[in-house]
Amino acid sequence: MDVRRRPTNAVVCSVPSDVPLKTKNLKHDSHSVTYVTNAMFFGMFFSVAYYLLLRWREKIRTSTPLHFVTISEIVAIFSLIASVIYLTVFFGIGFILHPFAASRAVTDDEDEFAVIAEETGNCLVDCTSVSPKLPLSSPKIADQKPPLAPLILSMEDKEVVRAVVSGSIPSYSLESKLGDCRRAAAIRHEAVENITGKSLEGLPVEGFDYDSILGQCCEMPIGFVQIPVGVAGPLLLDGKEYTVPMATTEGCLIASTNRGCKAIYVSGGASAVVLHDGMTRAPVVRFNSAKRASQLKFYLEDPLNFDSLAHTFNKSSRFGRLQKIKCALAGKNLYMRFTCSTGDAMGMNMVSKGVQNVLDFLQSDFPDMDVIGISGNFCSDKKAAAVNWIEGRGKSVVCEAVIKEEVVKKVLKTSVEALVELNMLKNLTGSAIAGALGGFNAHASNIVSAIYLATGQDPAQNVESSHCITMMEPVNNGKDLHISVTMPSIEVGTVGGGTQLASQSACLNLLGVKGASKETPGANSRQLATIVAGSVLAGELSLMSAIAAGQLVKSHMKYNRSIKDISKIAS
């Protein structure tokens, strides 16, 4: 006798050879009839419901009493009632109408899991069941078929993998069906290997808290990528020392930033100022004419209307506060750029909810307004855009330091004159020739990306967050170097998203900006933005010095090549 393994706590045996073949054919035919009947009543329900809605809508328009019905409407009403009764009975009372429910034949759930078994066999019938805590060989009489979730909970991992590969169990539903996020990731990991035929060896599964990302950070995980985290510092900024965590796979980056931090430290430190703090979202709406779109533009930009708009916007959050609305017109399409404070959160969801409130509010006075999208790219999120470079987005920060002449010579191995000339020709003139948009710097994106990965920020927002112009000029009669970085759109938060993960939370704690500020809402996120700018300042100073001194290639060859003998690195 062939044996097929059933999911969970049931053993399913093949039907003996003396069972008439008619039983199988009859079962198949009954399923076909059931499916056709269900399809017919489903079609009847939706079609007559749609027909009646159209008829009642027409009566409302023509002021015809609803209780005046035609023969066709009477037929439709009776058909609707009949289909509702059938569907309610069929789906609401445990498949009572199934012709073979009492005969213990294979049900739809059993058919779904029958594809899991690798062995081939005949028609399946229930023989025995086992406790989930016992091996499959331990029999026990089954009183009733367990629900779907317990079936999956007790299945062996290999069987669940087969079900995912065959499509019987959707990969995205593993966490909810299994109730174990780590096990779901491990099963999905193996299923992906089976489906693609590619090895995932080297992509670890164990050692990560998958519960912490469920529903907020990453869908359908199959493991996690290991990115080493190093530290640069101490960075002396506004009188405080920070040890800056940086997650990167690029050699020389942290070492270079660390050298910049040293130069800043021995020169007395750097200072930073947050010039503006406001996240943006810009929906796009359409009217029948440009004139009508301009009327809404004038309405939104009228100071007399701001209070009512702000009141509507601010209802979405305790921390979201509308600051301004800037509009742009393109024919009959209107783009409205809302800017609001968001506390210690980066704030994209917060501002989006507030914008939706305002759009609903405007619909009463502008019923002809057609909302095309909650985001019309005038925001502009995760794209290099002049509006962010000019207007700012998130935190606009400027950070500066004066590096003493002896520090430039001894620590940075170059001169003030060489740095000033290189900055003018490279960061300013060279970037202008390239047509750069916010890219008037040496490598701000390097530092921003590394800190973002370490602290749980959205890495894609590195695009606009790396907008930076680096300025250098001689001061104190040309002896010392004044260096500054101006970054108009640093988008960071210390709550929400990836900041809640254990590793990223630890890095935020290292900087002293973990979570929301209890004293001053938004203080932690603004402080993090200044740390990012200060770190960029250190990175710019060190890299520009390496280029000016002709050390760039030599340093990368030294630190960017794998050397198994650690003793050789010091030489």
Catalytic site residues?
Answer: 250, 382, 458, 556
The SS3 assignment for 377 reads coil
Distance CA 273, CA 529 (A): 10
Distance CA 419, CA 409 (A): 11
Query: Judging by beta carbons within 10 Å of its beta carbon (0-12, 13-18, 19+), is residue 302 exposed, middle or buried?
Result: exposed
Distance CA 399, CA 210 (A): 38
Three-class DSSP labels, 471-540? EEEEECCCCEEEEEEEEEEECCCCECHHHHCHHHHHHHHHHCCCCCCCCCCCHHHHHHHHHHHHHHHHHH
The SS3 assignment for 201 reads coil
Q: In the 8-state DSSP scheme, what is residue 103?
A: T
Q: Which whole-number Å values give the CA distances from 510 to 48, 275, 504, 507, 530, in the listed order? A: 64, 25, 10, 5, 15
515 contact partners, CB below 8 Å, separation of at least 6: 344, 494, 495, 508, 524
Distance CA 281, CA 145 (A): 51
Question: Which tokens sit at 48?
Answer: 């007559």
Distance CA 556, CA 521 (A): 42
527 contact partners, CB below 8 Å, separation of at least 6: 511, 512, 513
User: How many alpha carbons fall within 13 Å on the CB side of residue 552?
Assistant: 10
Distance CA 230, CA 170 (A): 39
Distance CA 128, CA 115 (A): 19
Distance CA 277, CA 210 (A): 33
Distance CA 6, CA 119 (A): 11
Question: Which tokens sit at 334?
Answer: 């209107």
